[in-house]
Amino acid sequence: MPRYAGAVRSVGTSAAATSQTVSSSATVAEKIRMVTVKYSASASVTVTITLNSGAGAGYDTLLQNITLSSATDGVWIPDGDLTLRAGDKIDVLCPSGGGAITSACAIYTQTRGD
């Protein structure tokens, strides 16, 4: 079981029928532990998780998609160590679920070495 002691959580909640982007910025080397997303009702959307590199736009990359098909919850846990360097950030784009549906997103990071 992975340790999450000392984990930092970046969160966001959207208004109804509105997309949102939640970001986690690293000030020191940090591991990405987990990204969670929850919609208030069943939605069919693709949530994108992108590395926005502190080295510049040429190094930005799509890390993962979470595809929900008439579902409310999704999670991404990296298969191995994924370390952010100072100046890097993770952007999670949660598209609108439509109607009165809201979304909540959380990005969990942990200082490298914990």
The yes-or-no verdict on residue 17 having pLDDT over 50 is yes
The yes-or-no verdict on residue 48 having pLDDT over 70 is yes
pLDDT digits (tens, 9 = 90+) for 53-64: 999 999 999 999
Which has more pLDDT, 20 or 29?
20
- Average pLDDT on 12-22 reads 95
Boundaries of every domain in the chain: 24-111
How far apart are alpha carbons 91 and 82 in whole angstroms? 14
Question: How would you classify residue 79: left for phi > 0, otherwise alpha for psi between -120 and 50, otherwise beta?
Answer: alpha
